[in-house]
Structure 1
């Protein structure tokens, strides 16, 4: 199991547009990616509803996890998205 810790950079957290962008990218990866805050159960990163119920706000640290072939590259890609301000992304 591979993990990445990353700080949420979007001012609105992982809600609305940022959640949709992260979920779409995570669902397109070759492995299942989960995301959690330290005090919560993991949810699927490819689920907009899962991301929104996580309640990850701006500045929160989240843990991404995945296992299998391609997991490290997939985690790097999703971690980069979470660490980017996606509030006004196209």
Structure 2
């Protein structure tokens, strides 16, 4: 299983627009990705409601996990989306 820590770059945190951008990017990946805070249960990165429920703020670190072929590339792409989403 591949794991990566990513930081929320949006100034207002992971609210509707950046969360939507992240979820759309996660849905395009060839592997299932989960996202969550360290030490807490992770949620499906393709679920907008679940991602919004995380309530992640600006600069907060989130753990991304995926398994399968292309998992590391998927996590890297999603980390970039989290860092640059506005």
Give the TM bin, normalised by the shorter chain. over 0.9
CA distance in structure 1 between the aligned counterparts of 2:72 and 2:9, rounded to whole angstroms: 21
> What does 1:1-90 correspond to in 2, within 5 Å?
1-84=1-84, 86-87=85-86
Gaps in structure 1 of 5+ consecutive residues = none
Count of residue correspondences: 86
Q: What's the Cα RMSD here?
A: 0.9
Deviation, structure 1 residue 6: 1.2
**Residues 15 and 51 in structure 1, CA contact (< 8 A), matched pair in contact too:** no
Q: Which ranges of structure 2 fall in alignment gaps of 5 or more residues?
A: none
1: CA distance, partners of 2:73 / 2:13: 23
